[in-house]
Structures are given as C-alpha cells and as structure tokens.
C-alpha cells in the first residue's frame, strides 16, 4: 500500500496519473495537487470510476514551501512525484526533507531568471537526503531518464568501457500548427535557443545554438535533420559511465519550427528579461507561452511517431563494439490510451516507473541519485510492460 503525491496538472502529469491508476497494486492512493485545483479535479472525475486507486486532489502553490509542507503533513505520502516546473524542484525537495518523503522528478532545477540548467543545485542535497534516510531520484523522464537507464543497461550487459555516446531524440509527429511546442513552451524555447554543448575528454565544448547539424534515418520515422543541443543528462552520464571520451545530444527540428523560432528571437519574444508593458512588468517568453497552443491540447491532432535512443561505441573483451537501443512511440496510440501526445507519454510513463522502483524497494537508497546509478534491469523490464518497449541494434549507423 503506497501513497503518492503528484504535483502538477499538465500534459506529463496527466500521463503519470493515468499510469499510476493502471498500476493500482503499487499506487493504492494518489493525491493530485496543483495551483489550479480544477485541473486536478478533472483528472479525478475522469478516472475515479475506472481504477482501484483512490484519488484525491488539493490546491498547492509549489513555489511556497510552507504550503507544500502543510499538504504533505496532511496527506502523508510515501513519495512525491514532481511534474511541476523545473523552477520549483528545490522548493519541493525542501518540503520532502521536512516531511520525510521520498522524491522524484523528470527535469533538473533551473533558476527562473537565468537560462541555465545543471545538477549542482540538486546534488547539493545529497548529504541531507542521506542523513534523513530518504531517496531522491533526479530526471526520471525519457531524456533525461530512460536514456540514462539505457546507458546503465549497455554498461552492465554489453561493454567493459563505453567511449562514445550519442543520444538521439527524434519527433516525427505533426500537429498541424505553424508553430507549437510539444512540452511547456517556456522550458522548450529556453532549451533550444540556448548555446549547444557536448562533453569531449572530460571538458565541456560550447557551440552556437543549432550550429551542429546532422541527418539521420530513424526507424519507423525516416530521415530527419537533427541538431546538437546542451542537455542535462550529459553532465551526470559523463561521471557515471566508465570510459567516456565524448557524449553528445541531438534533437530533430523541422524547418518551419526553426524559421518561426528565429523570427521570435529576432523580435525579442523569447527573452526572459522583464520589460515594462502598459505600466506593468512582463517577461516576453511567458507572454509568448500564453498565446501558443497548450501542449496538453495537441494529443488529438498529432500524428506520427517519436524515436528516442542511444548509440554507443566502446570495447568488450578488448574488441570494438557498437550498440543502439531505442523506443518508437506512436502519437495517436498514446492519445487513444491516455489522451496525450507521445512527448508527454514518453516522459510520464518513466516517471511512474521510477516511482514504482522506489516504492517497491528496487531503487530505495538514501541520498540523491541520477537514474543511471541504479540497477537498470527492473526498469528496462517495466518499460516493455507499461508502454515503452525498446529495440536493440548491434550494428547501427553511427553519427559522424
């Protein structure tokens, strides 16, 4: 019998809620909490007659630690699944420490006023979580998340050392809008408009945004343009995977998306610097978020597939070895199952699985950890069971 507090009520949260309700043997009780309680109530009303999981809802401001503490003390969850905004990670971790609750998120902390994300702020909590006997799992989405589990699985089963990792994130879906983002617009645009970077020989190498482009032929999607981005899991994987010489992250973008993004950048709409407008201060990027389509609304109109995975090159028994493991996910199949598009689905399912790993004791260890620091095998098995089956290729086309 486990009680989970789910903070957030967006597209990813919706998938987490649905999957927890499918897994009622582990998640006997869930509380959905958000700033807007009506969104939480909508999920409860949709699912409460279709699941054995007991669903309650609550209103909470995840920026307010005392409010979080009061809710946790009242509900007494075993784990808090944080699918709110990355700006709120530290507040929620503080509340978990005070209330003796395990913690899991899908994206690392970002300061709201700086387009910068790294693990240092959350890694600083290691000793406090360890002393409290609590487990904090960082980045249990897909990337970061499943990509880290893929890396741990490759290291455990196929390599003595992994020298090169390329993480490839392909979205072959089409939602029909001239411009929209598949997850939170504010986070998405901050991420893709930032400078790119990769790790080479233990050092960060910085690139201009979208400077490095490659073309790759993705299984079940086809040939797509992909661009090198900075991505958070590079930082932890470079520390936790043996033998790394280079690790890179690529994401696909269509030309229409890039053209619109460049225009928005040129007129200042992607800026996070506050400006005065009609006597009040606004942040242009937050205003842009308000006028763009809600990612949670894209499910019924998005068609096509995603393909996300990792290509490895390293050595086994002194010989060169390559390996590619990936998942293909269909947008419309996701919508039929849980009412979301595949981007939310591929993030929400691993969040549920990661929480299940903690609650069932498979990943229960005091401290703050990235997913690749745990045994990957039960997580990999669960991916096949809960909707994200993976495919292996032992002779992949490498990225130059």
Q: What is the CA radius of gyration of the chain?
A: 20
pLDDT > 70? residue 113: no
- Of 351, 325, 118, 90, give the one whose Cα is nearest residue 234: 118
pLDDT band at 350 (very low <50, low <70, confident <90, very high): very high
For 120-157, what is each residue's pLDDT tens digit? 999 999 999 999 999 999 999 999 999 999 999 999 99
What local confidence, expressed as pLDDT, does residue 286 receive?
87
CB count, 10 Å around CB of 133?
Answer: 12
Mapped onto helix, strand or coil, the DSSP state of residue 21 is helix
pLDDT > 90? residue 325: yes
pLDDT > 80? residue 370: yes
Nearby residues of 186 by Cβ (< 8 Å), 6 or more positions away: 85, 285, 286, 289
Q: How far apart are CA 69 and CA 80, in angstroms?
A: 12
Phi, psi dihedral angles at 74 (to 5 degrees): -75, -45
Question: Higher model confidence: residue 257 or residue 84?
Answer: 84
Percent of the chain with pLDDT over 90: 78
Percent of the chain with pLDDT over 70: 98
Backbone angle region of 367, left / alpha / beta, with phi > 0 → left and psi within -120 to 50 → alpha: left
- Average confidence score pLDDT of the chain: 93
Which pairs from 288-292 meet CB under 8 Å and 24+ separation? Answer: 288/185, 288/189, 288/264, 289/184, 289/185, 289/186, 292/179, 292/180, 292/181, 292/185
Task: State the average pLDDT over residues 269-279.
Answer: 87
Tokens representing 357?
Answer: 């790993």
Q: How far apart are CA 326 and CA 21, in angstroms?
A: 26
Task: State the average pLDDT over residues 376-388.
Answer: 98
Task: State the average pLDDT over residues 290-318.
Answer: 90
For 220-256, what is each residue's pLDDT tens digit? 999 999 999 999 999 999 999 999 999 999 999 888 8
What local confidence, expressed as pLDDT, does residue 254 receive?
81
Stretch among 184-198, 267-281, 362-376 having the lowest mean pLDDT: 184-198
pLDDT > 80? residue 117: no
What local confidence, expressed as pLDDT, does residue 266 receive?
85
What local confidence, expressed as pLDDT, does residue 114 receive?
66
Q: How far apart are CA 183 and CA 310, in angstroms?
A: 21
């Amino acid at each position: 019998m486990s009680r989970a507090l789910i903070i957030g009520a967006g597209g990813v949260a919706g998938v987490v809620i649905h999957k927890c309700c499918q897994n009622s043997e582990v998640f006997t009780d869930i509380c959905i909490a958000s700033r807007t309680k009506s969104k939480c109530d909508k999920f409860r009303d949709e699912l409460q007659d279709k699941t054995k999981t007991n669903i309650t809802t609550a209103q909470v401001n995840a920026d307010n630690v005392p409010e979080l503490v009061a809710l946790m003390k009242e509900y007494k969850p075993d784990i808090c699944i944080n699918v709110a905004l990355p700006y709120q990670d530290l507040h929620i971790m503080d509340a978990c420490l005070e209330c003796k609750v395990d913690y899991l998120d899908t994206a690392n902390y970002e300061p709201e006023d700086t387009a910068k994300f790294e693990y240092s702020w959350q890694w600083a909590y290691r000793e406090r979580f360890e002393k409290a006997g609590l487990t904090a799992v960082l980045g249990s989405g897909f990337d970061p998340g499943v990509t880290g589990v893929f890396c741990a699985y490759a290291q455990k089963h196929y390599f003595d050392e992994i020298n090169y990792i390329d993480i490839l994130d392909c979205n072959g879906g089409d939602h029909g809008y001239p411009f929209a983002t598949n997850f939170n617009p504010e986070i998405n645009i901050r991420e893709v408009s930032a400078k790119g970077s990769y790790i080479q020989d233990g050092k960060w190498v910085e690139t201009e945004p979208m400077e490095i482009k490659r073309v790759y032929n993705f299984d079940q999607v086809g040939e797509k343009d992909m661009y090198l981005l900075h991505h958070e899991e590079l930082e932890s994987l470079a520390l936790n995977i043996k033998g790394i010489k280079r690790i890179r992250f690529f994401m696909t973008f269509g030309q229409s998306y890039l053209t619109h993004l460049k225009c928005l950048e040129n007129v200042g709409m992607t800026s996070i610097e506050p400006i005065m407008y009609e006597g009040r201060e606004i942040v242009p990027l937050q205003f842009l978020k308000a006028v763009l389509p809600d990612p949670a609304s894209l499910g019924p109109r998005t068609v096509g597939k995603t393909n996300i995975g990792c290509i490895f090159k390293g050595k086994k028994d002194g010989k060169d070895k390559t390996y590619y493991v990936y998942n293909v996910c269909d947008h419309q199949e996701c919508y039929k199952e849980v009412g979301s598009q595949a981007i939310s689905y591929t993030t929400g399912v691993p969040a549920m699985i990661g929480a299940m790993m903690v609650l069932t004791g498979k990943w229960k260890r005091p401290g703050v950890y990235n997913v690749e620091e745990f045994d990957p095998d039960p997580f990999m098995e669960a991916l096949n069971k809960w909707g994200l089956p993976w495919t292996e290729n032992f002779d992949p086309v490498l990225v130059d």
